[in-house]
A and B are shown apart, each in its own frame.
Chain A
Amino acid sequence: MPLRRYLPVLAVAVVVVALQLVVSATGTVFYLTQLTMAAYYGLVVIGLCLLMGFAGQISLGQAGFFAIGGYTSAVLASADLGPVEGKPLLEVLQRLGAVVERQDLYGNTLNGFAPWLGLVAALVLTAAVALLIGIPVIRLRGHYLAMATLGFGLIIYRVVLGTGFLGAADGISDVPGFTVGALQISGALARRVQNYYAAWFIVIVGMILALNLIHSRVGRALRSIHGSEEAANAMGVNTARYKLGTFVLSALFAAVAGIFLTHYNGGIGPSEATGMKSVRYVAIVAVGGMDNLWGALIMGSLLNFLSLRGVFGSYDDAVFAGILIAIMLFAPSGLLAKTPRFARAKMAKTPRPEPKPRFRAKAKPPAGEGSP
């Protein structure tokens, strides 16, 4: 039912436009800044929702991928090619249109890499890292999977914090905007409305991609993995490949968000790579209902908007931790979880049998959370 699938997309587009009109009419255009940033964080959450809700794998390292994307793009976009002027490789890049002129703070003109080169490089690097980490990681389960992805995120954080050309504790600032024709992703006040629409356009494109994915053969395969990995394997689903693919895809979602948000903010710092950021993304997916992309997007942009507006004050992290615990204690399949109707009816009729005692007399946990 493609119409039913895309109707919410239309609804979100309408809300996006309506919000812009309202804030412009009421003279509160400043809200658009946080709404734009919240949109990009929402993109990370959509990617993580695919991984957690559909493939049933947790990742506590999404902030690491976000940082890889953002930092790669920031380093390349703010590079000064002056010292390598006239080298053959540079001329090749110039022919390709990968070198652009820009003005620095003092009005001097210098040559740097074009933003699209940074985008491509960041995505390639993220995909490569995700593949490299993903091949061993997706074989792990439960505690081990959580710790391994958390460990990966911490390594990225430590590397960013300890590396001079990534700005160490200060991060990278004065990153030039991302210009495509008349459009520029940057923090310039005059471009606030334009950037707001650009961000939500990117999010909606990401959402449509994710929706099509989960309603395809791949999506059905992922659901079967979530239900029972052994059963999926027995049905001929190549579980390892699907899990790896989703892991890489969710990393790319995070990287795209990282790239554009870095250009929008004009910089990136190590705080974007902390474990707390990763936990926060997990919390939002949990609140949204693990297997509910729309829930994830709505809660993701709402909670991030509130957090960015400083509503939670110095209790910011505590609020997210509290939300996470409350959801896991009282509604482990998420607030807005979408349990299929037939499964609900079946659950209501047949009482769940007690799991048989195993050797260690503990029930074997299902492959993931939220399975009906």
Chain B
Amino acid sequence: MTLSQFVQYFLSGITVGSIYAIVAIGFNIIYNTTGIINFAQGEFLVLGAMIAVSLAAVLPLPLAILLAVVITMLVGAAIDFAFIKWLGRPTVLRLVIITIGVSILIREAMLHIWDEKVRALPYFTGTEVSSVRLLGAYISPQVLWVLGVSAVVVVALSLFFRLTLTGRAMRACSDNRTAARLCGIPARGMVTLSFMLSAGIGALAGCVISPLTQTQYDMGASLAIKGFTVAILGGLGNSTAAVAAGLVLGLLEAFAISLLPLAYIDAVSIAVLLIVLFFRPSGLFGNRQASALKEF
């Protein structure tokens, strides 16, 4: 493998890896405040991109994306209101099944609102043929957009959770919900907020990758399972580790393409998921004792 080939694979690896990381962070945000794995996380990306594609026909691109993110956040809040909020103390199995059902409903709704055609947003800068030369490899400027937006999302989220009062309140809820409530934090509102937040960053991620990967109504499930793999690989609930784990999985997939037929690539990352679940369910960077206290 020459240097330029290596750079090419490497860049495509970290591009998909950073998207997986964002999906994983979406999982983590909801998991931390509620203990729920939201199986509909992948649908947020597809929904965001679909709305943006439709809006981009009449609005300028940045505005279309912004509106798509806002609408998807409202959908996230609606899911919480309709299916989660009033359940009280549901069992994990019940929530798993409900969120799976929700993901199918969103998928079917998208199929009927749009159709089964493959769509894509226009490239943010340049066109599909423009490229940037880097160490002998050619990359699309959109790749830089994906990496840039992912980095901004990760940094902004960590600042939000560290510095703002709302972010700190959400972290307090994830640490100990009863204690947070005793301190006057509206724990229920935080759950709605966490659904909106992960829907929003999901929609943004969906828009940024849309020019590269195209968008189809049924892409959500495979994005969700890879995002989940990354979340587990990093240790469920740990968003910083999710970034590292996302890059690991992205690179693994990118280099697996040079060895295996394309059709089996999805199977590779799911096999990684199974191996991690079987042998190290606390994740690569997770602490076994800490994870024993978590519920799953």
Chain A: residues with CB nearer than 8 A to chain B? Answer: 58, 60, 133, 136-137, 139-144, 146-148, 150-152, 154-155, 158-159, 161-163, 168, 275-276, 279, 282-283, 286, 314-315, 317-318, 320-322, 324-325, 328-329, 332, 355, 357, 359-366, 368-369
Contact = CB atoms under 8 A, between A and B. Distances in A.
B83 to A, nearest CB: 7
A162 B221 CA distance: 18
B225 A144 contact: no
A159 B264 contact: yes
B105 A158 contact: no
- Give the contact-size bracket for chain B: 35 or more
Contacts of B264: 158-159, 162
Given A147-B37, A151-B274, A279 B281 contact: no
B278 A328 contact: no
Given A151-B225, A318-B108, A355-B89, A324 B101 contact: yes
B277 A148 contact: yes
B108 A365 contact: no
Interface stretch (B53-61, B158-166, B173-181): B173-181
Contact of B98 (A133, A142, A317, A325): A325
Contacts of B105: 318, 321-322, 325
A325 B101 contact: yes
B56 to A, nearest CB: 27
Interface in B241-287: 261-264, 266-267, 270-271, 273-274, 277-278, 281
B37 A363 contact: no
Contacts of B177: 360-362
A148 to B, nearest CB: 5
A277 B182 CA distance: 45
A315 B179 CA distance: 45
B97 A148 contact: no
Q: Which 10 residue pairs of A and B lie closest in terms of their CB atoms, listed nearest first?
A: A162-B263, A321-B104, A136-B278, A142-B92, A325-B101, A318-B108, A361-B178, A324-B101, A143-B37, A158-B267
Interface stretch (B119-127, B137-145, B288-296): B288-296
B154 interface: no
A255 B258 CA distance: 34
Contact of A328 (B98, B271, B281): B98
Given A155-B271, A329-B87, A359-B293, A143 B266 contact: no
Given A147-B273, A362-B295, 15 more contacts: A58-B93, A58-B97, A142-B296, A144-B277, A151-B225, A152-B270, A155-B271, A158-B267, A279-B100, A286-B97, A324-B98, A332-B91, A360-B176, A365-B92, A368-B91
B117 interface: no
Contacts of B175: 360
Contacts of A357: 178
Contacts of A58: 93, 96-97
13 contacts: A137-B278, A142-B96, A142-B295, A143-B96, A155-B267, A155-B271, A162-B261, A162-B263, A279-B101, A318-B108, A359-B293, A360-B295, A363-B89
A368 to B, nearest CB: 6
Interface string B62-96: 00000000000000000000010001011111101
Contacts of A315: 108, 112
B35 interface: yes
Contacts of B35: 360, 362
Contacts of A162: 261-264, 267
B228 interface: yes
A143 B296 contact: yes
Given A136-B278, A147-B225, A332 B94 contact: yes
B7 interface: no
Interface string B29-48: 00000010100000000000
B102 interface: yes
Given A142-B295, A144-B277, A360-B293, A366 B271 contact: no
Contact of B266 (A60, A139, A154, A368): A154
Contacts of B108: 315, 317-318, 321
A78 to B, nearest CB: 22
A163 B260 CA distance: 12
Given A286-B97, A361-B178, A154 B104 contact: no
B295 A144 contact: no
Contact of A148 (B90, B274, B293): B274
Contacts of A151: 225, 270, 273-274
Among A144, A275, A364, A366, which residue has the most Cβ atoms of chain B within 10 A? A144
A325 B178 contact: no
B293 A322 contact: no
